[in-house]
Amino acid sequence: MVKTTSLAVALLLTPSMVWAQAQTETQPEPAAPAEAAPIATPSAPVAPSPQTLPAPARNAVAPPASAPVMVPTSVPPTGTNASSSPGKEQPFSGDFTWMNGQSRQKEFPLKFNEIVTLSAYLDAYYAFSGNRPKDNTLTGNASVGRHNEFQINLASLGVDLAYKNVLGRLSLQMGNMIDIVQNLDGTTSRGRSLSKDNLRYIREATLGYHFDVHHGLNVEAGIFMSYIGLESYLLAENWNYTRAIASDHTPFYFQGVRAQYFPLKNVKIEPWLMNGWQTYGKWNSLPSAGTALRWSPYESLTFLSNFYLGTDTRGEPGRVRFHNDHSILARYYNAPDSRFLSKLAFSLNNNIGFETGGDGLPGPSGAHMLATSLAHRAAFFRDHLALAVRGELFTNPSRYAAQYPPPGFASGAGENLRQWALTTTFEVMPTSFMSIRAEFNYRHSDSPYFAGRNGTTSSDGYQGTTNPDGSASVVADGQKSQALYILSANFRL
């Protein structure tokens, strides 16, 4: 599992290795296009505004997300400058489209002017599980939900506005993925006047203001892409089509307020105040709080660290959840005009979290989450082809973070969940705004976490089926492993 010693070694060695390689790269770092400086770097995926990128957060069409995600990428400016004076260099200027969890889009044909930028996103897939569940339902991940079917995973339209320092963003969504993610929010059953149906079709809806302080300060409120995690909510922004296990079990969106402060051109400090852990409402009376930090000493090297603290257990206001994820992203070879090898890069994402407090509930030793994910990507033929490989480990005693298990999957004191996974993805990119991928994803669990041959719905695979005595017919055929074969296509403007 995640070892603090391995992370320390990575933190000490990675910068020196990347810097040494940077001196011998085949091509010099390309200069940032004049239009690439984002004004509001949102940490979310589809809106054309600079995203802090999702921390890996989970991230965007014009802005990279994400989340997944949190690193601004080359995004079209959306109005006012992020710097305090016209001559000051924009924060994170450069090309960060190589990063895991960020948008790879370099052209923005739907940017009409400095005030309005539209965005469009479409993600479709075909997935086949080696377990062949007869009800065609997959469990154990938030990326794909159906077996042996062609599905629209996510379709989105968005508009990004910036006028006289006022910022606005609205991105609408539909598709298979929202049945997996948004349907889990139980806070909407606390009281009345709040429902998933009112909000599930909104990916982002924000309003804010830009202040010319140092290299920029943005203050916004609304629904945002999550800042936690390396990989984006928008699968097109990730090196692999399916997300890492830890990314699947950390939030994809938050409702609340945030500030993005750029004290230096390569540093972002982003405090958040939210309702809860991927919730539209709150489980208890106190809000959740967190911070996203990003430092990019070079265009080829970025460090991310994100923190979260909240009370996210129903009826237990004294139980606190803490989470931290930290990432290193490094590009150690760059030859963008090469007809053979054009880029080599890796990302390392570690997660550590726990729950404590409450009446008779386990403490951190019996309720924690540890995870690590290491991905490597090689791009070829002027970045038109790519091969990405990812390996990962995950453990979660009490299973408090396990969000996509089959029906009847137990959680609580004494329960555990350990998983490992390997993923290989081959990608063809005719343009920076279109991607076709073939992927193999294998996951293994110490518990029956994945849908088996008999499915997870009923004896005949349909909802509402009853037994001869009138009782509900429920089947939960869980298996300890799952092999997924996926073909996907993504398009965005």
Task: Tell me which of 79 and 4 has the higher pLDDT.
Answer: 4
The gap from C-alpha 318 to its chain's centroid, in whole angstroms, comes to 29
- The CA R_g of the chain, rounded to the nearest whole Å, is 22
Residue 87 is predicted with a pLDDT of 55
Residue 18 is predicted with a pLDDT of 38
State the pairing for strand pair 267-274/253-264.
antiparallel
Residue 80 is predicted with a pLDDT of 33
- Residue-range definition of the domain harbouring residue 313: 4-492
- The count of domains in the chain is 1
**Mean pLDDT over all residues of the chain?**
84
The closest alpha carbon to 290, from 96, 55, 3, 102, belongs to 55
For the full predicted model, state whether its pTM sits above 0.85. Answer: no
Report residue 18 as tokens.
């990347």
173-187: average pLDDT? 90
Asked if pLDDT for residue 219 goes beyond 60, the answer is yes
Band (pLDDT 50/70/90 cuts) for residue 88 is: low
210-229: average pLDDT? 95
319-348: average pLDDT? 96
The gap from C-alpha 167 to its chain's centroid, in whole angstroms, comes to 23
CA pair distance 240, 60, nearest whole angstrom: 16
Whole-number Cα distances in Å, 250 to 3, 137, 243, 254, 481? 20, 22, 11, 11, 21
Band (pLDDT 50/70/90 cuts) for residue 21 is: very low
pLDDT in tens, 384-403: 999 999 999 999 999 999 88
The answer to whether 398 and 413 have CB atoms below 8 angstroms apart is yes
Band (pLDDT 50/70/90 cuts) for residue 459 is: confident
CATH of the domain at 338: 2.40.160.10
Percent above pLDDT 90 for the chain: 67
The answer to whether 49 and 34 have CB atoms below 8 angstroms apart is no
Report residue 355 as tokens.
């729950």
Asked if pLDDT for residue 209 goes beyond 90, the answer is yes
